[in-house]
């Protein structure tokens, strides 16, 4: 919908940063560690749905969603009400000292959402995605009594030491932080566009390389687990070719290797299924969840086969703050919102809408080499030349800055920093999508003007 026919959701009252934001950012420079640089030159005052307003009254359409955290939208009233109700009861006990019902109820609801398995499942809750990944690895190693973990190129799993070791991108996540955790091995992820191959051939080549790893790199009977994002997140929103994950699962089953699906970014309805794994017909042994689980409160979890989850000794997993009762209350309300508003179905519509707009842009702008995604997990990859596919990282950064200046928030991704991704709240309105895509379109056009 052209902006001339719609009410504008973008409000620009001052250039960025406005005076109130600028003052907070000045104070930030004096007391906040320098590596914690900020992406948007403004300071948030409030947010609702897919709109964010800064201290100076500027309103943005948020297609970053707090880096995929607000699938249910910013400040959903039901989630806020659940948080307030729990706050009035109590804030903390440590579940393993004095248990509470919201933790149990959340686990009961999560195990019912596990894709494709009739086996009983159990849950352990944590604080962050990285913490869930760390514990999934601990659980896998303890259950199998094997040391090795296979991760994939382009994968991102967090910034704590095991998670950072598993993560594929060197800068900025790993450079200068070694040595890393031992017994982690890297396998190729079938990135057909970047490898310049047809998807089926790409999948076959990657599977053959993984098979070869068991001869040249690590013995299969020493591998506890493979951990993989069903759709690469930070690696560039890469969707694996049909059949790849099913064959990878079969490879694991044949060798007694556990399959861990890192659904921190791809889960919670983002791809048009509650878990992205459902699209590919696989049944992971362990699933990590975080980000949108509690709509902004720190909460994460590992969902796994009961025999695996129960195999560890008493108090071998846990932590003081894990599964905080306020976060659990928020997470229960998030699941209610998903059911009431059918956000999984909404994700499919959002994805179709965004992908259609991105494909229209691709037909106009040679800078866009690829458009891809699954459900509402959508992205464009920018290249300086469609034949050589040279990554256009500087151009991507300039376009993203221009979008922010014009009131639309998109995020960067990709190991080369040349992918622009959409992680919009699933409650975003169609006219907000159109307005944000118009901003992106004009920002790309101006890059080559």
pLDDT bin (cut points 50, 70, 90) of residue 115 is: confident
pLDDT in tens, 334-363: 999 999 999 999 999 999 999 999 999 999
Packing angle, helices 325-341 and 101-111, rounded to 10:
40
pLDDT over 50 at 3, yes or no:
no
DSSP for 276-343, please give it: GGGGGT---SEEEE-GGGGBTB--EEEEEEHHHHTTSPTTSS--SSTT-HHHHHHHHHHHHHHHHHTH
Instruction: Specify the domain boundaries for CATH 3.40.640.10 within the chain.
Output: 78-341
pLDDT in tens, 321-330: 999 999 999 9
Mean pLDDT of 209-225: 98
pLDDT bin (cut points 50, 70, 90) of residue 140 is: very high
Mean pLDDT of 94-99: 96
State the average pLDDT for the chain.
96
pLDDT over 90 at 117, yes or no:
no
pLDDT bin (cut points 50, 70, 90) of residue 1 is: very low
Contact 189, 224 (CB under 8 A): no
pLDDT bin (cut points 50, 70, 90) of residue 7 is: confident
Instruction: Specify the domain boundaries for CATH 3.90.1150.10 within the chain.
Output: 3-62+343-447
- Could you give phi then psi for residue 302, rounded to 5 degrees? -120, 125
**Nearest-angstrom CA–CA distance, 433 and 354:** 7
Mean pLDDT of 134-143: 98
pLDDT in tens, 173-185: 999 999 999 999 9
Within 223-324, where are the H helices? 244-255, 306-309
pLDDT bin (cut points 50, 70, 90) of residue 449 is: low
pLDDT bin (cut points 50, 70, 90) of residue 68 is: very high
The pLDDT > 70 percentage for the chain reads: 98
Question: Which pLDDT value is given to residue 2?
Answer: 43
Return the minimum-mean-pLDDT range out of 142-146, 174-178, 386-390, 399-403.
174-178
| 415 sits in which H/E element | none
* Sheet arrangement for strand 377-382: 368-374, 377-382, 419-422, 411-413
Question: Which pLDDT value is given to residue 357?
Answer: 98
pLDDT in tens, 369-385: 999 999 999 999 999 99
Question: Which pLDDT value is given to residue 55?
Answer: 98
pLDDT over 90 at 292, yes or no:
yes
pLDDT bin (cut points 50, 70, 90) of residue 282 is: very high
Secondary structure of residue 350 in the 3-state scheme = helix
Bridge partners (DSSP) of residue 297 are 295
pLDDT over 50 at 4, yes or no:
no
Fold assignment, 78-341: 3.40.640
The pLDDT > 90 percentage for the chain reads: 96
pLDDT over 70 at 130, yes or no:
yes
Question: Which pLDDT value is given to residue 6?
Answer: 63
Q: What does the radius of gyration of the chain's CA atoms come to, in whole angstroms?
A: 22
Q: Are strands 377-382 and 368-374 parallel, antiparallel or unpaired?
A: antiparallel
Query: Residue 57 — left, alpha, or beta (φ > 0 → left; ψ -120 to 50 → alpha)?
Result: left
Which CATH number is 3-62+343-447's, of 3.90.1300.10, 3.30.1780.10, 3.50.50.60, 3.90.1150.10?
3.90.1150.10
User: CB-side exposure of 80: number of CA atoms within 13 Å?
Assistant: 8
Q: Which residue has the tokens 């060798």?
A: 255
Higher per-residue confidence, 448 vs 166: 166
Token code pair at residue 409? 């928030």
């Amino acid at each position: 919908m052209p902006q001339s026919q719609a009410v504008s959701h973008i409000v620009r009252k001052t250039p960025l940063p406005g005076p109130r934001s600028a003052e907070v950012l000045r104070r930030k420079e004096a007391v906040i560690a320098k590596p914690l640089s900020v992406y948007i030159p403004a300071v948030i005052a409030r947010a609702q749905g897919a709109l964010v307003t800064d201290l100076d009254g500027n309103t943005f359409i948020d297609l970053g969603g707090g880096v995929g955290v607000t699938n249910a939208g910013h400040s959903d009233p039901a989630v806020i009400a659940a948080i307030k109700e729990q706050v009035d009861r109590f804030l903390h006990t440590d579940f393993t000292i004095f248990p509470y019902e919201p933790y149990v109820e959340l686990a009961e609801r999560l195990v019912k959402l596990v894709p494709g398995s009739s086996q009983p499942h159990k849950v352990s809750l944590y604080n962050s995605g990285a913490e869930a990944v760390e514990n999934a690895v601990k659980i896998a190693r303890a259950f199998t009594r094997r040391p090795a973990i296979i991760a994939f190129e382009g994968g991102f799993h967090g910034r704590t030491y095991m998670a950072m070791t598993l993560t594929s991108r060197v800068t900025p996540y790993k450079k200068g932080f070694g040595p890393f955790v031992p017994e982690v091995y890297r396998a190729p992820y079938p990135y057909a566009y970047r490898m310049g191959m047809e998807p089926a051939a790409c999948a076959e080549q990657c599977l053959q390389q993984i098979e070869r790893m068991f001869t040249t790199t690590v013995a299969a009977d020493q591998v506890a687990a493979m951990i993989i994002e069903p759709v690469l997140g930070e690696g560039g929103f890469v969707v694996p070719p049909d059949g790849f994950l099913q064959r990878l699962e079969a490879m694991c089953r044949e060798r007694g290797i556990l399959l861990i699906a890192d659904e921190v970014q791809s889960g919670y309805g983002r791809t048009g299924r509650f878990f992205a794994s459902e699209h590919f017909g696989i049944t992971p042994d362990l699933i990590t969840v975080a980000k949108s689980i509690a709509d902004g409160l720190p909460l994460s979890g590992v969902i796994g086969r009961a025999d695996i989850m129960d195999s560890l000794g008493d108090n071998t997993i846990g932590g003081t703050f894990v599964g905080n009762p306020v976060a659990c209350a928020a997470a229960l309300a998030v699941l209610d919102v998903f059911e009431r508003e059918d956000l999984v179905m909404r994700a499919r519509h959002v994805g179709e809408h965004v992908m259609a707009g991105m494909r229209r842009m691709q037909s106009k702008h040679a800078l866009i080499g690829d458009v891809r995604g699954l459900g509402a997990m959508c992205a464009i990859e920018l290249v300086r030349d469609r034949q050589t596919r040279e990554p256009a990282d500087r151009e991507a950064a300039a376009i993203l800055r221009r979008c922010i200046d014009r009131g639309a928030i998109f995020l960067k991704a990709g190991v080369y920093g040349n992918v622009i991704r959409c992680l919009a709240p699933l409650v975003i309105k169609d006219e907000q999508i159109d307005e944000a895509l118009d901003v992106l379109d004009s920002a790309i056009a101006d890059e080559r003007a």
